[in-house]
C-alpha cells in the first residue's frame, strides 16, 4: 500500500513510518518541520535501509497535499499533522483550531479531489474531558475541557459527517492516551523543538542535565500520591495500532463493515507522575530532581483507557512494559546527545 503520513517526521509519525517501511509499504511523508527535524529521514534510512519520500509542506496547503497524493499514487493517509500541547491550547486556542481543524479540512478536500478515501486519524483521549468513570471506553461521554481536546472532537465530528455523506470513505479514529518511549535502536524518539510539553522528553532532558529539574504540575489531585495519573503507552505499540487500523480499512472495504470507527489506544493501566519518575530512576539509575508547581489549566486528575474494543476488533494489544518505556527513552536521549 502507498501511504501518506502527514506530520510523519514527528514523534509518532516517524515510528509509524518505520514500521510501515519494514512491513513493505511505500511511505511518503508530508511535514512542515515546525516541530520535527529533517535528520529523522537519515535515521529512518539507517534503520530500514530505505529512505521514504519526503515533501516539506503544510497540510493547510491543499494543493501541495493533492500533488503528493497524485505524484506518489497514494492509497491511504494517516493524519498526524497538528499541534498538541494542552497548556498552549488554552493560551492560544486559535492556533489549535487553525492548524488542527482547518488543516484536516484541507486534507479532506485534497483527498476528495484525488478520490482517495482511506484515512486513519490521530485523535486523542482528551476528547473525553474529566472522566465520568474509569477506565474510559469509547462510549464515555465526550466533553473536552481544553481547546486541544475540542479541536480533536470537532475533527471527529467532521469525519463522521463525511463518512455518512459518502459510503466510499473508510475512516478510523485512534484516540491515543499518552505515548512514551522510543524505538529500540535509539535513533528516533520524542525530540520536540523548544521546551517539551510532555512528561518523558522533559525527564530525558533533566536526566541528561540539559535542564535543572522537572516541574510537576500539582501534587494535590485526588490520587494515591497527589500527582496526575495517565495511561502511558509505548510508541511502538501505538505504531502497531496504526498498522492494525490499515488492516481494518482493508477489511471494511472487503466485508462491508462500518465505514467509520473509533478506538481507544492505551494499555488500560494508569501510572502517576511520581510513579513514572521513580520507575525511570530505578531502571536507568539516574536521579531526577523535581519541583512542585501549580496545576496547569485544562489538566485532570486521572485518565486511563479500556482498550478492549481495539483488542477485539483490530486484533491489537499493547505489549511493551513500563520498563521498556523508561529504558528506551533514556537510550534515545543518550544516543541523541552522544552520552555514555
pLDDT mean over 92-105: 97
Sole residue written with cell 472522566: 131
pLDDT score for 197: 82
Q: Of 169, 311, 158, 155, whose CA–CA distance to 252 is shortest?
A: 169
pLDDT score for 340: 62
Q: Of 99, 80, 53, 9, whose CA–CA distance to 241 is shortest?
A: 80
**What is the per-residue pLDDT across 160-208, written as a single tens digit (0 to 9) for each?**
999 999 999 999 999 999 999 999 999 999 988 788 888 999 999 999 9
In total, the chain counts a number of residues equal to 340
- The CATH class of the 199-229+268-337 domain is alpha beta
Rounded Cα gap, residues 276 and 308, in angstroms: 24
- Classify 226 in phi/psi space as left (phi over 0), alpha (psi -120 to 50) or beta: left
Rounded Cα gap, residues 321 and 307, in angstroms: 16
Q: Of 22, 89, 103, 23, whose CA–CA distance to 57 is shortest?
A: 103
**What is the per-residue pLDDT across 5-41, written as a single tens digit (0 to 9) for each?**
999 999 999 999 999 999 999 999 999 999 999 999 9
pLDDT score for 193: 78
Q: Catalogue the active-site residues.
A: 148
Mean pLDDT of the residues in the chain: 95
Distance from the first to the final alpha carbon of the chain = 40
Considering the four listed CATH numbers 3.40.50.720, 3.30.465.10, 3.40.50.1970, 3.10.270.10, the one that applies to the domain covering 2-180+232-265 is 3.40.50.720
Q: Of 163, 174, 153, whose CA–CA distance to 101 is shortest?
A: 153
Percent of the chain residues topping a pLDDT of 90: 90
pLDDT score for 63: 98
pLDDT mean over 257-261: 86
Strand partners, 13: none
pLDDT score for 256: 64
Domain residues of the chain, as ranges? 2-180+232-265, 199-229+268-337
**What is the per-residue pLDDT across 230-243, written as a single tens digit (0 to 9) for each?**
999 999 999 999 99
Amino acid at each position: 500500500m502507498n501511504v501518506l503520513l502527514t506530520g510523519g517526521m514527528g514523534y509518532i509519525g516517524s515510528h509509524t513510518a518505520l514500521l510501515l517501511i519494514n512491513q513493505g509499504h511505500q511511505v511518503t511523508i508530508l511535514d512542515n518541520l515546525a516541530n520535527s527535524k529533517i535528520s529523522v529521514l537519515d535515521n529512518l534510512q539507517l534503520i530500514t535501509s530505505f529512505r521514504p519520500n519526503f515533501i516539506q509542506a503544510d497540510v493547510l496547503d491543499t494543493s501541495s497535499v493533492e500533488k503528493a497524493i497524485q505524484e506518489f499514487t497514494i492509497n491511504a493517509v494517516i493524519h498526524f499533522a497538528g499541534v498538541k500541547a494542552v497548556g498552549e491550547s488554552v493560551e492560544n486556542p486559535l492556533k489549535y483550531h487553525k492548524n488542527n481543524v482547518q488543516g484536516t479540512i484541507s486534507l479532506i478536500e485534497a483527498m476528495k479531489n484525488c478520490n482517495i478515501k482511506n484515512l486513519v486519524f490521530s485523535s486523542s483521549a482528551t476528547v473525553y474531558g474529566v472522566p465520568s468513570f474509569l477506565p474510559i471506553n469509547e462510549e464515555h461521554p465526550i466533553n473536552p475541557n481544553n481547546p486541544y481536546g475540542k479541536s480533536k472532537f470537532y475533527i471527529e465530528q467532521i469525519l463522521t459527517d463525511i463518512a455518512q455523506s459518502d459510503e466510499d470513505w473508510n475512516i478510523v479514529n485512534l484516540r491515543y492516551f499518552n505515548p512514551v518511549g522510543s524505538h529500540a535502536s535509539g535513533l528516533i524518539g520524542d525530540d520536540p523543538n523548544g521546551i517539551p510539553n510532555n512528561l518523558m522528553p522533559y525527564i530525558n532532558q533533566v536526566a541528561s542535565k540539559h535542564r535543572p529539574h522537572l516541574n510537576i504540575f500539582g501534587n494535590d489531585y485526588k490520587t494515591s500520591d497527589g500527582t496526575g495519573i495517565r495511561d502511558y503507552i509505548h510508541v511502538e505499540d501505538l505504531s502497531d495500532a496504526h498498522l492494525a487500523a490499515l488492516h481494518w480499512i482493508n477489511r471494511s472495504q472487503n466485508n462491508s463493515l462500518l465505514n467509520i470507527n473509533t478506538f481507544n489506544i492505551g494499555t488500560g493501566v494508569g501510572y502517576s507522575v511520581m510513579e513514572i519518575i521513580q520507575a525511570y530512576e530505578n531502571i536507568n539509575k539516574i536521579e531526577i530532581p523535581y519541583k512542585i508547581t501549580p496545576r496547569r489549566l485544562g489538566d485532570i486528575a486521572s485518565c486511563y483507557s479500556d482498550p478492549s474494543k481495539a483488542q477485539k476488533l483490530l486484533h491489537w494489544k499493547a505489549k511493551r512494559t513500563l520498563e521498556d518505556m523508561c529504558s528506551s527513552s533514556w537510550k534515545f536521549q543518550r544516543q541523541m546527545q552522544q552520552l555514555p
